[in-house]
Amino acid sequence: MSSAVESAPRSPGRPRSIRADEAIIEAVLDLLAEGSTIESLSIEAIAARAGVGKATIYRRWSGKQALLVDALRTLKGQPPTPKGASVREDLVLLMRGVGRDTDPRANKIMPCLVPEVHRSPEQYAVYQEIVQPRRELTREVLRRGVRTGELRPDIDVELVALMLTGPVLMQKILNWSPDVDDRNLPERVVDTLLAGLTPR
Amino acid sequence: MSSAVESAPRSPGRPRSIRADEAIIEAVLDLLAEGSTIESLSIEAIAARAGVGKATIYRRWSGKQALLVDALRTLKGQPPTPKGASVREDLVLLMRGVGRDTDPRANKIMPCLVPEVHRSPEQYAVYQEIVQPRRELTREVLRRGVRTGELRPDIDVELVALMLTGPVLMQKILNWSPDVDDRNLPERVVDTLLAGLTPR
């Protein structure tokens, strides 16, 4: 963004280091959105784009991996907070957040990132660090549902988390099927999985 | 594979044109497995790799898109045939085929292909031509289940096909969650969706 972050005069409410951090995060997201792969992204390129020295980056982050985790968390924003009323409502709220990112660069970055995560253990670790906090919210709602009796006691929480998120993500990010009605998809996935397919 | 397909002597049971077709298909799959994107793949490169002239390719296929559909169908092999006994068994059979390709090059090609399909309407059309016949098998089993009463009459067949395939594909191709137990995943996805999550 600014090409002279380090030499800019300090403004009262916002210390120079915070502005530099933001410029560095923005530089990572801009480079990824422009088509850089995680693999080819270099600290040199990030520093040049942010208008800071490499030392400024290394003062704040241990390396590319830690910086990527912060940048992608910034991109995805805060996950929604379950309200705790009904399991159904909370699952719908969480699934509405799947594949929905407020930053417009996410549409460029996320579909390319998802397959990239498999190319190395480091990239897979970055991906897991980003999705785990969101996945934990889903797990907590499911465990609560088992406790309250809203859900069967024998459900496999990890499997159910996959069965909720997988269809929504596949359809939203990859447009898996042109024949699926996308309206209220999170609600319909949650309700179908809660009720099951066999007659009651 | 052979670099001199067109000049090779004709063998009795296998006309030259079929051997050339196979060499062309193999060339496409080799190039994709080596990291070529669909976008960068050229008829020139395919012809050179197969040891044929461009005219040989254009005699058989209308262009890159039609050739890609044939090559990727070859890669994926024949889908399994539902046995027609129970909806549960047939869905398990179909889901066992999701993300399982007999050709070892598929592990290199498919994870990269899936996000690529979104880059242009042509690529999306290729992808849909490959997955539609398999998706239709799933639809038919679901419709049959509604007729026999094994499934509720109000299910959304397209949504349910997504809810069966999405989780299996996400986990098998992208290893979405390291915490999901991968053993018997197709069976467990089918049984969980059939039964639902709420107590009966």
Q: What is the pLDDT of residue B121?
A: 81
For residue B179, list chain A residues with Cβ-Cβ distance below 8 A: 158
Q: Nearest residue on chain A to B183, judged by CA atoms? A: A159
The nearest alpha carbon in chain A to B114 belongs to A174
Interacting residues of B131 by C-beta distance below 8 A, sequence separation 6+: A177
Where does the pLDDT of residue B17 fall: very low under 50, low under 70, confident under 90, or very high at 90 and above?
confident
Rounded to whole angstroms, the maximal C-alpha distance in chain A is 69
B173 pLDDT higher than 50 = yes
Question: What is the DSSP code string of A28-40?
Answer: HHHHHHTT--TTT
pLDDT tier, B176 (very low <50, low <70, confident <90, very high otherwise): confident
d(CA A84, CA B144): 39
Q: Do B167 and A169 touch (CB under 8 A)?
A: no
CA atoms of A181 and A169, how far apart (whole Å): 14
Would you say B193 and A196 are in contact if contact means Cβ atoms under 8 Å apart? yes
Chain A, nearest residue to B109 by Cα: A115
**Amino acid symbol at B69:** V
Best of B152, B176, B191, B194 to disrupt the A interface by mutation (most A CBs within 10 Å)?
B176
| Tokens representing residue A173 in the block | 């990010």
pLDDT digit string, tens, across residues B90-106: 999 999 988 777 788 88
Quote the CA–CA distance of A151 and A154 in Å, as a whole number: 9
- Our separate counts of H helices and E strands in chain A read 9, 0
Question: A151, B198 in Cβ contact below 8 A?
Answer: yes
Check: CB of residue A64 under 8 Å from CB of residue A85. Answer: no
- The DSSP secondary structure of B137-162, one letter per residue, reads HHHHHHHHHHHHTSS-TT--HHHHHH
Query: What does the block give as tokens for A125?
Result: 């670790």
CA distance A137 to A168: 16
Give the nearest chain B residue to A194 (CA atoms): B197
Instruction: Give the ipTM.
Output: 0.81
Chain B CB contacts of A194 below 8 Å: 196-198
> Chain A partners of B181 at a C-beta cutoff of 8 Å?
156, 158-159
Nearest CA in chain A to B108: A119
A121 at B interface, C-beta within 8 A:
no
- Provide, as residue numbers in chain B, all residues whose Cβ is less than 8 Å from the Cβ of A176: 162, 165-166
Q: In angstroms, how far is the first alpha carbon of chain B from the final one? A: 58
Does the pLDDT at position A166 exceed 80?
Answer: yes
B136 touches chain A (CB under 8 A): no
Q: For chain B, list the domains and their CATH numbers.
A: 18-73 (1.10.10.60), 78-197 (1.10.357.10)
pLDDT reported for residue B100: 76
How close, in Å, is residue A63 to chain B by CA atoms? 24
Nearest to B68 by CA among B17, B120, B16: B120
Cβ–Cβ under 8 Å, residues B113 and B29: no
* pLDDT score at A11: 52
pLDDT at A5 over 50: no
| Mean pLDDT of all residues in A119-124 | 78
Residue type, B160: V
The minimum CA-CA distance between A149 and chain B, rounded to whole Å, is 8
**What value, to the nearest 5°, has the Cα angle with vertex A97 and ends A96 and A100?**
105
For residue B14, the cross-strand partners are B11
Q: Furthest-apart CA pair in chain B: how many Å?
A: 69
Per-residue pLDDT at B120: 76
Q: What are the CA-CA distances from residue B30 to residues A79, B7, B20, B113 (Å)?
A: 42, 22, 15, 14
Question: A38 vs chain B: nearest CA distance in angstroms?
Answer: 14
Give yes or no for residue B115 having a pLDDT over 50.
yes
